Amino acid sequence: MFYGAMKLSIGGSLKLAFRPWVEGLENVPAEGPAILASNHLSFSDSFFLPAVLDRKITFIAKQEYFTSPGVKGKLTAAFFKGVGQLPVDRSGARGAGEAAIKSGIEVLERGELFGIYPEGTRSPDGRLYRGKPGGLARVALATGAPVIPVAMIDTEKIQPPGKVVPKLMRPGIRIGKPLDFSRYHGMDNDRFILRSVTDEVMYEIMKLSGQEYVDIYATAAKRQIAEEAKRKAEEEKAAKSAGLDATEK
């Protein structure tokens, strides 16, 4: 009931303000379990997708959103629970992965929709990055649920990093046809199969989104970008210092 109320208030407001366009909504089954695997451009992806679906979709979110102290922390926790987010402890990489897989399986066993971002984190530059095989593929093969590729379009332009006030524009959502991986049933511990399943899903997302594909993980790309920014800052600082030294002479 709380989810319905949150969907009506938040989802209704988002649809009214941003008027997202949707293609392929008929590919989401009216009932039964399914995995919606999406690219990840913005924090708002987890709100726009549920807003356009008639059914409840559950994503996983970092545990900190649910455990912050004080009134603000309680309100934040209530909000994330209300919009269908499940807390996952990310303190240990392996533990976090296992917790995410367990949560996904439980959602699907209830006959519900499970949402997942195969890239593992938001794209740092709008391109599509290599999918992580552990979560998506293992959940799909363990449950036999169909995987529905989803492409979020232009959501990163609504509220870029550092911007407080969102830009009013129409984002898009393209939903592809369900992918059946039942041929790999019982092979969820085969890393080559997991890689194959993940790559097939990412290829479908790429076709739907039109994004440039980069065959590295988004987490690695973020590190590279941070290191490059640090290097440039150090070079500028050195150049400025050299300029001051020359002036003093």
Same domain for 15 and 118, yes or no, is: yes
Confidence (pLDDT) at 29: 97
Same domain for 234 and 206, yes or no, is: no
CA distances for 24 relative to 4, 21, 115, 135, 170, angstroms: 23, 10, 16, 24, 17
Residue 39: pLDDT above 60?
yes
Would you place residue 108 in the very low, low, confident or very high pLDDT band (cuts 50, 70, 90)? Answer: very high
Same domain for 229 and 128, yes or no, is: no
Same domain for 203 and 234, yes or no, is: no
Confidence (pLDDT) at 156: 93
Q: pLDDT tens digits, residue range 173-202?
A: 999 999 999 999 889 889 999 999 999 999
Residue 83: pLDDT above 80?
no
Same domain for 52 and 171, yes or no, is: yes
Same domain for 229 and 118, yes or no, is: no
Q: What is the pTM of this model?
A: 0.85
What CATH number is given to the structural domain containing 169?
3.40.1130.10
Confidence (pLDDT) at 61: 73
Confidence (pLDDT) at 69: 75
Confidence (pLDDT) at 5: 66
Confidence (pLDDT) at 43: 83
Same domain for 204 and 116, yes or no, is: yes
The one-letter amino acid code at 95 reads G
Range of the domain at 201: 2-214
Structurally, the chain folds into a number of domains equal to 2
| Three-state SS annotation for the chain | CHHHHHHHHHHHHHHHHHCCEEECHHHCCCCCCEEEEECCCCCCHHHHHHHHCCCCEEEEEECHHHHCCHHHHHHHHHHHHHCCEEEECCCCHHHHHHHHHHHHHHHHHCCCEEEECCCCCCCCCCCEECCCCCHHHHHHHHHCCCEEEEEEECHHHCCCCCCCCCCCCCCEEEECCCECCHHHCCCCCCHHHHHHHHHHHHHHHHHHHCCCEECCCHHHHHHHHHHHHHHHHHHHHHHHHHHHHHHHC
Same domain for 124 and 237, yes or no, is: no
Same domain for 92 and 139, yes or no, is: yes
